[in-house]
Amino acid sequence: MKLITLCLALFFSTITCAETTQSIPMQIRNNHNFYVDSSIEGAGLTSLLVDTGSGYSTITEKTLRSLQKTGKAVYLKKLKGVLADGSVQKVSVYRISGINIGQNCHIRDIEVAVFPSASREILGLNTLSKVAPFTFSMDPPFLSLSNCTKV
């Protein structure tokens, strides 16, 4: 009810919002990895690897620098990250302002890990849980995300 009231108030201020379920197409690349077109608020367009085995979403150091320049990243903590090969690495965790997955699913206040020398950005479970329930479909390849905020 509070969201509906807020959206109506914003509507009368010439801004609209709605919570919806969105179907986001995924692209298959590199040995059956799935990616979604996205944009990170303060850093621009990117392609996120969808990784339901990753507890945290991740960004590259280059993206972090862009976010820091625009004031869209806040340092939170250090944690031990476990890589796919089982090795452990200390990583920094930041809160970023938000991301848009596809064109119509905005998610605010995301915690992201920054692995040194990472070459790609990852959409992990901590972010996906904000738009749960979600569905990962392989054929056809798409993500169905619930509770998306469209502004």
Residue 14: how many CB atoms within 10 A of its CB? 6
Tens digit of each residue's pLDDT (9 = 90 or more) over 23-53: 999 999 987 899 999 999 999 999 999 999 9
CB-hemisphere CA count at 13 Å for 36? Answer: 28
Q: What is the pLDDT of residues 52-98, one digit of tens each?
A: 999 999 999 999 999 999 999 999 999 987 777 888 889 999 999 99
Residue 34, judged by CB atoms within 10 A of its CB (0-12, 13-18, 19+), counts as buried
Domain range for residue 69? 20-150
Whichever domain contains 79, its CATH number is 2.40.70.10
Residue 66 has φ and ψ, to the nearest 5°, of -60, -45
Q: ω before 25 within 30° of 0 (cis)? A: no
Question: What's the whole-model pTM score?
Answer: 0.83
Q: Tell me how many domains the chain contains.
A: 1
In a domain, 58, yes or no: yes
H or E, element range at 68: helix 61-69
